[in-house]
């Protein structure tokens, strides 16, 4: 499920893609309005099946994470940190499996 919410702190809109177990697998940048966040959700759906759009990274602490990029190279969403490269690949697979049909809900 995609969950759209507004930050109390900066009033920007964000989305999280959550797996069926409720774990966040992809988080967005901040958008100035809700329609921007919805466009971000659409962009995730459009780009998640293209492996070349996933940028795999290793942090300074040795943990693994990834970004999903749009056709223009802009980062749409980023992952949590994973202890292993295999964990990161599972996260990417989870985005591919969950994003295309995920419903969109607003946080309560």
For the residues 25-43, what does the mean pLDDT come to?
96
Q: What is the pLDDT of residue 4?
A: 97
For the residues 76-97, what does the mean pLDDT come to?
96
Question: Domain limits at 11?
Answer: 2-106
Q: What is the pLDDT of residue 58?
A: 97
Total structural domains in the chain?
1
Under a CB-based contact definition with an 8 Å cutoff, are residues 91 and 25 in contact?
Answer: yes
For the residues 79-88, what does the mean pLDDT come to?
96
CATH number for the domain that contains residue 26 = 2.30.29.80
22 conformational bin, left if phi > 0, alpha if psi -120 to 50, beta if neither: left
Name the one residue in this structure whose structure tokens are 């693994």.
64
User: In the predicted model, is pLDDT for residue 20 greater than 90?
Assistant: no
For the residues 35-64, what does the mean pLDDT come to?
97
For the residues 60-73, what does the mean pLDDT come to?
96
Q: What is the pTM of this model?
A: 0.92
């Amino acid at each position: 499920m995609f969950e759209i919410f507004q930050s109390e702190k900066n009033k920007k809109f964000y989305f999280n893609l959550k797996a069926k177990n409720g774990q966040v697998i992809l988080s967005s940048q901040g958008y100035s309005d809700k329609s921007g966040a919805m466009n971000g959700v659409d962009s995730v759906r459009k780009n998640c099946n293209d492996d070349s759009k996933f940028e795999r990274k290793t942090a300074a602490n040795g943990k693994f994470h990834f970004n999903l990029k749009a056709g223009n190279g802009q980062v749409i969403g980023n992952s949590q940190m994973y202890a292993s490269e295999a964990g990161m690949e599972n996260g990417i697979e989870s985005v591919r499996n969950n994003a295309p049909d995920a419903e969109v809900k607003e946080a309560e």
